[in-house]
Amino acid sequence: MNEAASRIAIIDFEASALPGKGRRSFPIEVGAAVPKTGEVRSWLIRPERVWLDEWDWYYESEQVHRLTREHLLRCELPREQVAREMQGFIGGRALLSDNPAAEGYWFGLLYSEE
C-alpha cells in the first residue's frame, strides 16, 4: 500500500431523511474504515432532542436503515461521545466519502455545539 493510502479513512453516514428537497436531516449512524489496517467501526447516534422536535424524520429512510427513532433514543450513544470516539479512530487521517456534500453536512452536525 502506498504512502497516500496510509493517511486516509473512509466515512459513511446514514441519516433521518434522504438528502435534498430542503429536508433538514440529522445523522443517525456513522461508519469509518481505515484501509491500511482494515479496521472498521460504526456508531449509532442518539438524536438530539432539538433534532427530533424540529428537524425531519422520514419513514422511507427508517425502512432503508431499519432503525426507529425509539430504538435510537433508548440505547445509543450521545452525539458528543460518538464524535470523540470517531475522532480517536480516524486520528489525523484525510477523510474520503462517496457523497462529500451530504457527508460534510452530517459530519458538521456530529461535531456541532447545537
Query: Domain of 92: which CATH number?
Result: 3.30.420.10
For the segment 42-82, what is each residue's pLDDT rounded down to a tens digit? 999 999 988 888 888 888 888 888 888 888 888 789 999 99
- Reduce the DSSP state of residue 60 to 3 states and report it: helix
For the segment 8-35, what is each residue's pLDDT rounded down to a tens digit? 999 999 999 876 666 788 999 999 999 9
pLDDT at position 1 is 53
pLDDT at position 45 is 94
Give the range of the structural domain holding residue 16, as residue numbers without chain letter.
4-110
Where are the alpha helices (H) located in the chain, listed in sequence order? 49-54, 59-65, 69-75, 79-90, 100-110
Overall number of domains in the chain: 1
pTM (predicted TM-score): 0.86
